[in-house]
Amino acid sequence: METLTLHAYAKINLTLDVTGRRDDGYHFIESILQSVSLADTVTLCRTDSSGITVVCRDPNVPDDQTNTAYRAAAVFLQETGLPGGIRIQIEKVIPSQAGLAGGSADAAAVLWGMDRLWDTGLPAERLAKLGLQVGADVPFCLQGGTGLAEGIGEILTPLPALPDCWIVLCKPAYGVSTKEAYRTIDSIPILRRPDTSAMLRAIHQGDWACIPSQTGNLFQTALRIPEVEEISASMRRYGAENACMSGSGPTVFGLFSQPELAYACRDALALQYPAAYVCQPVPYGVHPIEK
């Protein structure tokens, strides 16, 4: 096998709490994560010559060492010492700086795919450690599904799948710098936190009646972005059982039990926000596309 094409799935944070800060600047988190069907397409092609090439038509995606997919390939080649190089083509669908881990999803796809292209058979734990060198969300994007993330995101506990539901995503036109968002968290008193334990109980019980009400995001409380609150309110008016910001924002997700309400909400939001989508939970973070 010389070429492999993969879907790299976005994630949302059903809950997100920041519980501390390490001396190196990384933050400890407690978050329940869910992979969703919104996905980039990543095509990997082995090359005989050494080197890493990243190709993407999106002008906002860099093609050098600042690209997470590039860094993932570099980490993999350095770790394994294997000859040859890789060409990475990315078709972006997941918005950038959105709180949806688009860059981390692409990096996860590169690690997952290179392991198969080179037939190295690296254990999942080793791939996750390589991913952590690229970004804190990469280990979860490799695992995918529903999970609890602790530590700086590298301590992962798989959870039961969510009940069937539809998820509307809506991102305002601007992005949010994760670094700046954490700087804000560090500078203000925290008065209210999401209840991760209550969400865990609801998920383990498969209790859809309780799951939407337990969503919560410390960044949403701390950053207080007016447009996020407006989108959240709009989603609830269109039938979302709850709406919440994902990651450090600014994307808002709304949880729906009825698909017709989800699509009506997406259509209404899309009149003002082009980055509006309907998706569903998926049980993986990376998945090959059959040709």
DSSP 137-182: THHHHHH-SEEEEETTTTEEEE-PPPPS-EEEEEE-SS---HHHHH
Confidence of residue 226 (pLDDT cuts 50, 70, 90): very high
126 vs 189: which has the higher pLDDT = 126
Write down the mean pLDDT value for the chain: 95
pTM: 0.95
Confidence of residue 1 (pLDDT cuts 50, 70, 90): low
Q: Is 11 a catalytic residue?
A: yes
Q: Is 171 a catalytic residue?
A: no
* Radius of gyration (C-alpha) of the chain in whole angstroms: 19
The single residue of 17, 40, 106, 137 carrying the catalytic annotation is 137
The single residue of 11, 40, 92, 106 carrying the catalytic annotation is 11
Q: Let me know: does 82 contact 119? Beta carbons within 8 Å.
A: no
Reading the block at residue 60, the tokens are 């906002």
